[in-house]
Chain A
Amino acid sequence: MSLAMVVAIGVLFTIGVYLLLQRNLTRVLVGLGILAHGVNLMILNASSRFGTAPILDGREGPISDPLPQALILTAIVIAFAVTAFLLALAVRAWGATSEDFVEDDLEDRRIGSNRGGESP
């Protein structure tokens, strides 16, 4: 772990979350991608052993922890699948409304403002 990494993680999380909180679907998707990068970097840094690649070819010296790497590899591929799926959703939403803008869910708001579900 280095200070450079920590800076990168902080920036990726901040910008990822800020984009995630937008109403434009493309921005939300990009934000999700950035956030995923931040998380992957965080997993990498959670390990405290760094060195050469974890390939056992008889070299001497410290090697990096393989477990976080395997986890990140999995996470990258899953994030890819999720991104593709969300893209398709965005396209579908655009096809339906010609908008890629997340409107307020009025139905949800109506349910939320319904005071006390129980009738006497």
Chain B
Amino acid sequence: MLETILLSLGLAVVAVVAIVVAWDRRSPETAHNSAWLAGAVVGAFGVLGLLNPDAESFRVEWVPQLNLGFEFSLDAFGAMFLTIIGGVGLVVFAFTARYQKGKAGSGRFIATMLAFAASMAALVLSGDVFTLFVFWEATTFTSYLLIGQHHQTATARRSARQAALVTGAGGLAMLAGLILLADEAGSTSIEMIVDAGPTSTAGWVLILIGAMTKSAQFPFSSWLPSAMAAPTPASAFLHSATMVKAGIVLVGRLAPGAANVDWWAPLVVIVGLITMLLGGIRALKQTDLKLILAYGTVSALGLMFASIGSGIPTLVVGGIALLVAHALYKSTLFLTVGVIEAQEKTRDISKLGHVGRSSPAISVIAIIGAASMAGVPLTLGFAAKEVDLDAFLDESTALGWAVALISALTVAYSVRFVASLFRDPAREGSRQIVGLVAPITFLAIIAVFFGLLPGTLTAAEADAAAALVGPVEPPKLVVWPGFVPAFGLSMLGLVSGLVIGFWSLRRSLTPAPRSHRFDQSIDGLQTWAARVTSIIQNGSLPVYLGQILVVAVVLPLPALVRGGAVPLPPAGGVVEWVVVVFLVAAALALLRVKRRMSAVLLLGAVGYSMSALFALAGAPDVAITQVLVETLVVTLFALALRLLPLEFSAGGGFVPWKGLVALLVGGFAVVVTLVSGAVEPASFVSDQQLELALPEAAGANVVNVTLVDFRALDTLGEIAVLGIAALGVMALVRPVGEIVSDRSFAFRSSPILRRGADIINPLLLVFALYLLLAGHNQPGGGFAAGLVASGWLVIVWLTSGGAGVRRALPVGPAVLIGFGLAVAVATGLGGFAWADGFLASNSWSMDGGPLGQIKFVTPLLFDLGVAITVLGSVAGAVRGLEAV
């Protein structure tokens, strides 16, 4: 049921977003009206919240292997929040419809607001930590876009960046925390985590940081006042009523699970109350109406954070009462500021002294909202604050006094807000905009209704609190609490707040200097990054390579040495040592060699030693391939180096830092080898390959079977790379041939070589054919066959030059490469016909009379493609390089 409803709502959101955007494209001048559509969808969320179907949940798997999924559950807390989103959202969109009239960018604004509303709804309904994270980030992202709505101004861009960085970083901290908690609890479900009561300190700290950034708690609160660069509807909706409460939702949902963490509740309360205090003080210094409200929001969030985040049932009840009241009065006040700004074109309180008398409707609404904010009796704010204050007093008298005294600041900035509108006795002012006032009037009427009958909310708020912390005592939401201690403290706060508020207004109307600390630190970071870049990016290729190598070696080192000492391997046989000594000698000689060709020959010597080592290690296929490749490499080098001077140019002297880096990497390689060799895995991937080679792939040579059957797709990619590289060689070198054609060498070949070639060439071709056919069961295969055939080609070239090659192999290299690849791909496609998929193999046996049993396996065709591609590639490389 819930699944269907949420799915339909989600589809409706997507559809309306599309309509809104299209509407804006078609006729931008009427696009503001599309806010009504968005409002209707958001209202539907509210209706769902009001109907509050019984606690229901469902889960849709996303990546089951990683335990990632979307899980939603609708409990009383979620329902209450949905109602707030829907109710406030509806009014805000109604307001927007008029507010955006005649403004550009309506489509983007309205669509983003709707996307935000949907994300926020999904966030409060999330039953899984990863679902929560996804929608948490979605609200961060939409908030970023909305703050940057007027992206033409630098302020908007800076503010959007600040909000995105602070809440984005917090989101990542939260993700890390959620992973830690989920890991400890053994489940990603929020309910299970709370039940398990994990105790990971790092996890809870990270969660707290995430919640603090999102809900603008000290010291992460500065982004919220900056976010006032957003258009007023966004400020009212995101930055007071809903999104900034996401952090509170998070700690509210998880706090009951922190029962075993004894520092949690005290820390959360301290953070919240400090934020409440600092926000209140700063609100009193503001001269911008909207900023007074913004700092007021910071302050109010502090109290809610302390109450709901503590996880103490009585406090949670009080916090929820505050949350509902705050959503109602703060959105009213923000929208009121929106009207005032639209009318008077300013938000500076030194210029708005006449508004109170010239716009009576607005001033009445402002007074209703501010009274609730201050907690004046007969308002919902009063009833809620009484409940919360009572809970704090129950917890500790000192805490109760602290809250009551800090609340005086709330009263003070409420007074500052309203009284600033009445400083000027003039009655003339701009005309009131009815389309904007009407939606707010609706909010104000609701506020008055709940102010007079707060008891109507008792059941809903008790249920919401119970959804978080289990059965609770319902809040005593009453108009007149009687002469209880909390009431006395409230009145004390009210009176002192009145005094402070009027005093603050008299004292100063000059704007407080805006703190640029955040921007400065970002600028500092960029300057620092530029300085580092200018050092490491110096244009030298060796330096770049050295940096990459050092980082690649140093980073994994801690993980490598963590296992402690590893045993030394056995010394190895005599033959092995002889080969290794030869290899090392050849490699060392490379350091001192002066002539290019000598260097290439030494490289070849190392390569041949390698092939000997492979042969000793039981890898004949690799050994054969290595020998063949090495021969061809030396040939290609020889071809290319004809052009270059015999000796290396000067400048090959020993450079200490290069030697050091080389030794570092060499040492690293030794450690990696020793550590990886000491690990005895529980199972081998190749066990399966050894087991299946004969029955499934009809081949005894498991290496070849792996290449042409088990991992044939890799091989297909590999020969494609080979072909592309050869084509690249041909394309790269051709123009050079034109440049330096005068340096071409006249071709001379020795008669002995020619006679020898006549004998050996046919043998090579037969051998290639043998390797190809036998490769499935004996050492060999397509690569070896192709390389041997390439050797034939090289000999032809050495004896009779390019013309001879063209005579012996009339087909061009590009055609050969293409044909080879086509054969391989065709074999792959054939897999659909003779087996069950791309590159799948099959085999047939038949009686060959005197030849005995003949067996045909489809990978043979594939190997033929490989061989042809290899031959074509080498032919291409030879033809390219000899053309110079």
The stretch among B145-153, B655-663, B827-835 that forms the contact with chain A is B655-663
By the criterion CB–CB under 8 Å, are A11 and B666 in contact?
A: yes
Q: Once bound together, how far apart are the Cα atoms of A117 and B533, in whole Å? A: 11
If the complex has contacts A21-B658, A72-B619, A104-B540, are A88 and B732 also in contact, measured as CB distance less than 8 A? Answer: yes
C-alpha spacing A109/B637, complex, angstroms: 32
Total contacts A-B at CB 8 Å: 332
Q: Which residue of A lies closest to B669 (CB)?
A: A13
Query: 1/0 per position for B307-323, CB-CB distance to A under 8 A?
Result: 00000000000000000
> B877 contacts A84, CB within 8 Å?
yes
Report chain A residues within 8 Å CB of B669. Answer: 9-10, 12-13, 38, 42
In the complex, chain B residues whose CB is within 8 Å of the CB of A33: 603, 606-607, 633
**Main SS of chain A's interface residues?**
helix
B763 interfacial by beta-carbon distance below 8 Å: no
Which residues on the A side are within 8 Å of B632 (C-beta)?
80
Query: From residue A10, how far is it (CB to closest CB) to chain B in Å?
Result: 4
Considering the chains assembled together, what is the distance between the CA atoms of A95 and B546 in angstroms?
A: 28
**Chain B interface, >50% SS class:** helix
Contact of B539 among A13, A48, A84, A106 (CB under 8 A): A106
Name the A residues within 8 Å of B13 (CB-CB): none
One of B530, B533, B881 near A88 (C-beta < 8 A): B881
A55-82 interface with B by 8 A CB criterion: 55-57, 63-67, 69-70, 72-74, 76-82
| Residues of B contacting A4 in the complex (Cβ-Cβ under 8 angstroms) | 571-573, 576-577, 579-580
A66 adjacent to B539 (CB under 8 Å): no
Mask of B539-552 contacts with A, CB within 8 angstroms, 1/0: 11110011001000
Residues of B within 8 A of A18 (CB): 591, 658-659, 661-662
A90 to B783, CA, bound (A): 26
Q: Count the A residues whose beta carbon is within 8 Å of the partner chain — how many? A: 94
B686 touches A66 (CB 8 A): yes
Using known A-B contacts A64-B618, A95-B736, determine if residue A102 contacts B541 with beta carbons closer than 8 Å: yes
> Bound complex: CA of A51 vs CA of B658, how far in Å?
38
- Minimum CB–CB distance from B533 to chain A (whole Å) comes to 5
Chain B, residues 165-180, CB within 8 Å of chain A (1/0): the string is 0000000000000000
A51 x B580 contact (CB < 8 A): no
Q: In the bound complex, what is the Cα–Cα distance between A94 and B579 (angstroms)? A: 36
Partner of B736, one of A44, A92, A99, A104: A92
Interchain CB contact under 8 A, A21 and B546: yes
Taken together as a complex, chains A and B put the C-alpha atoms of A40 and B739 apart, in Å, by 38
Query: How many whole Å from B778's CB to the nearest CB in chain A?
Result: 7
| A10-B669, A91-B733 given; A54·B618 CB < 8 A | yes
**At the interface, yes or no: B241 with Cβ under 8 Å from chain A?**
no
* Binding-face segment, B90-98, B556-564, B639-647: B639-647
Q: In the bound complex, what is the Cα–Cα distance between A65 and B677 (angstroms)?
A: 13
Knowing A23-B542, A92-B733, A109-B537, the reply to whether A14 touches B570 (Cβ < 8 A) is no
**Cα-based distance from A38 to B658 in the complex (angstroms):** 18
Partner among B584, B670, B706, B728 whose Cβ is within 8 Å of the Cβ of A70: B706
Decide if A72 touches B622 in the complex (CB within 8 Å): yes
The answer to whether B539 touches A55, judged by C-beta atoms less than 8 angstroms apart, is no
Cβ contact of B677, chosen from A14, A45, A55, A72, cutoff 8 A: A45
| B661 A77 Cβ-Cβ under 8 A | no
Closest 7 CB pairs of A and B: A112-B537, A2-B572, A14-B666, A95-B736, A109-B539, A64-B618, A4-B572
Ordered by A's residue number, 17 sampled pairs between the chains whose C-beta atoms are within 8 Å are: A8-B584, A12-B587, A18-B659, A19-B591, A24-B649, A26-B648, A34-B587, A40-B622, A45-B673, A56-B690, A64-B619, A66-B686, A67-B684, A70-B706, A91-B736, A108-B539, A112-B533
Besides the contacts A7-B580, A10-B670, A88-B877, what 6 more A-B pairs have beta carbons closer than 8 Å?
A: A6-B569, A21-B662, A34-B606, A44-B614, A57-B777, A73-B622
